Structure 1
């Protein structure tokens, strides 16, 4: 082992990524190059074993099913009906449209598990009505970006599935662990929206959608728009948390249920179903390639003596268990700003787990904090992938600076959530403890 070579693996990977090579292929290329000094002509044979280990990972079988579920829901009219229904009841509140938007994002985060899809779909649906109602660009941008990021925290998050698989934690247990922190974060988001609307009412005015509609008709439309999606989401998440179904079985329920919902709402078409299938295959392939690249990269990094390097660096800090957690979370945060989330999880988690175990840190509790940090990095400038997702669909007069201003308070809410979970681990452990037989 030559630790000097391990030092250069990360700079080499980042150089390829910044040169425009996809993350998965950058990681694979670096793994092959740095494996050659160790294995020589047997490099290909040694690395090929990772293809089998990743492709046979049972936990990852749920990923394409959850993606298909989200793709089908995304292509339907469920989002539009949900927003109209929520706006009727919440529009009269301070910042009512923003509250309705965030509520819809929470529902669809639980229905898709895919970050980015929720944000784009929500942005296309709500930007017009919110602008017409007089909402400021900053609160529109912040609400959509923050709401879109909830797919990281709210089950069935793909990021949570990947972390649980790498950390060898039952996926259902980790789903339970992120549930309360996820809704706590939503609560902080809602509080900020209301405070903003009370301080600057002209920038987040109350609206009166459907005020002339009879109460019975309102209730009927709300039941029609919200009850079936809520049943689907509850069936998927509830069956996992109650131990009725394994994660893969629950994902299959979600995939079939999403198609049935489209049929119920008369949104079904073979063309959209085919498009959802193609999207599922594309995104799933990308995730599998990233998983393969991340597994190869971290394994060769360890073989080259990288684990000893990290051990020496951590030991030199002498910060104790709490300080170790903070340092490692900061590393996740930085990795999330540079890499996509799945790559950050696959690279950092296998390297950090031995140090967490040695320090007596619960990897499940740490995993919740790591997911929060990754979600926060999604909003944080200058990278801020959430801002650039929104920029791609926003009108031209939405400046990047206005979007940065809009997301900043929500970033503080995310850090506040992380601080609460750090100070009171019971927030993350209460549901897993209830799930124990």
Structure 2
């Protein structure tokens, strides 16, 4: 076998091992070292005398050091800590019920409140599993008790929970910035309007569906609605502090007052202050938040070490060249290239999660952007929208499994899948809108930081 053929074998074997359930980070690491030993072997042929005389070990060491000293990635544990603290401070419970009462006169009020709560909480958290799980325990029983259709309610929670990987301050965008060597500030600015557009389309769908079929989302009973003064007082107490924290964190980044890491540190401190003000700050909750942050951060770091090692070996063997020549041989127009890449990412979303797609497969296409004259920030937003589908596409729609895990026998998995389908269509529609109107993503970063020049 030639080296490019070995590279393609390496990629195919990785996909097979992932589908068999092997841990992603350590699969990447093991395959990078195994195939790298073949690629970088320096000893005499057909002998074991140079078993440790191999540059793959130097490459692994350098990649590990590069990840640990990466300034961009410092923001990840701080944003994670902020999310875990907010999750344990009982803020989300108050926020959901306050938003429900404020939206009481709108069709599908409970579903709208669930979507808004998901958007706000996932923005503070950025952890899809945590948002879907918590909202499954909080919002689904409320909607089920109010007579909402089960599939409709499940779809709202699953779709709303994925917004956190798109709406800033998003951990996914920090990871993308590190992989593509782009400015996280520009990525955050580029993601604001696409994120708001997607959340807005979700709300429009919910209201339209509730108006067309009132039986799936009954209106609240008048006797369950508290006085108006109490509604707005609850909204002021539950919504405004968290919203202000998010605006301060994001505003300090976009205003150039702080780096993402500095803003994340401010957000982590703000989360602790909010928990203290809500009288929910205990040593046990802080300890749990620190433990979960360390666990998630360690996995992200190993993902980077493994993926960079894997990608380096794959490229050294000629894998990137094979794929690039394959695209070049098809003589594609830029729009054809974009559609083909997004289709590939969409299909990969069936068996894989966003982190695996982003770290392994997106770097394959990044070197081709200059060839086809594609703005890298525009491409990043198309990918970010597309990655929403990795949580919503059966049979491996992880948001559905998160929800099923907490609801257990209250709902069947196929009912959840049925509820996801409209939101999957909305994501695809939003990608079409972004392609037709690139200014949705590019206007704000160009306005804040000047026109992008490659």
Of 387, 401, 406, which aligns to 2:419?
A: 406
For residues 42-73 of structure 1, the C-alpha deviation after alignment (integer angstroms, 9 at most, x for no partner) is: 12223221111111111000000000000001
For residues 182-238 of structure 1, the C-alpha deviation after alignment (integer angstroms, 9 at most, x for no partner) is: 110011101110111112101101114776533322222211111110110111111
Matched, 1:3 2:11: no
Aligned CA distance change for structure 1 residues 393 and 211 (closer, same or farther; 3 Å): closer
Task: Show the counterpart of 1:255.
Answer: 268
Quick check: 1:114–1:157 contact (8 Å CA) kept in 2?
no
Matched, 1:302 2:315: yes
Task: Show the counterpart of 2:331.
Answer: 318
Aligned CA distance change for structure 1 residues 210 and 90 (closer, same or farther; 3 Å): farther
Quick check: 2:349–2:393 contact (8 Å CA) kept in 1?
no
Q: Could you state the TM-score of these two structures normalised by the residue count of structure 1?
A: 0.97
By how many angstroms is 1:349 displaced? 2.7
Quick check: 2:107–2:207 contact (8 Å CA) kept in 1?
yes
By how many angstroms is 1:175 displaced? 0.6
Task: Show the counterpart of 1:20.
Answer: 21
**Unpaired segments ≥5 residues, structure 2:** 42-52
Quick check: 1:119–1:145 contact (8 Å CA) kept in 2?
yes
Of 356, 362, 379, which aligns to 1:366?
A: 379
* Secondary structure class of the residue paired with 1:8: helix
By how many angstroms is 1:329 displaced? 1.5
By how many angstroms is 1:378 displaced? 1.3
State how 1:112-191 maps to structure 2 within 5 Å: 112-191=125-204
Aligned CA distance change for structure 1 residues 244 and 208 (closer, same or farther; 3 Å): farther
Matched, 1:36 2:37: yes
Task: Show the counterpart of 1:222.
Answer: 235
* Secondary structure class of the residue paired with 1:338: coil
- Which deviates the most, 57-66 or 35-44? 35-44
Quick check: 1:66–1:251 contact (8 Å CA) kept in 2?
yes
By how many angstroms is 1:294 displaced? 1.0
For residues 314-352 of structure 1, the C-alpha deviation after alignment (integer angstroms, 9 at most, x for no partner) is: 123222111111111222223333333122111123221
For residues 220-266 of structure 1, the C-alpha deviation after alignment (integer angstroms, 9 at most, x for no partner) is: 22111111101101111111111111100100011000000000010
Provide the rounded CA distance (Å) in 1 between the counterparts of 2:380 and 2:411: 35
Provide the rounded CA distance (Å) in 2 between the counterparts of 1:254 and 1:51: 27
Of 62, 69, 74, which aligns to 1:56?
A: 69
- Which deviates the most, 333-342 or 314-323? 333-342
* Secondary structure class of the residue paired with 1:393: helix
Aligned CA distance change for structure 1 residues 415 and 12 (closer, same or farther; 3 Å): same
Provide the rounded CA distance (Å) in 2 between the counterparts of 1:104 and 1:120: 13
Quick check: 1:88–1:209 contact (8 Å CA) kept in 2?
no
Task: Show the counterpart of 1:69.
Answer: 82
By how many angstroms is 1:20 displaced? 2.7
Quick check: 1:87–1:209 contact (8 Å CA) kept in 2?
no
**Unpaired segments ≥5 residues, structure 1:** none
State how 1:333-352 maps to structure 2 within 5 Å: 333-352=346-365
For residues 168-191 of structure 1, the C-alpha deviation after alignment (integer angstroms, 9 at most, x for no partner) is: 111011011011011100111011
* Secondary structure class of the residue paired with 1:394: helix
Q: CA RMSD in A?
A: 1.4
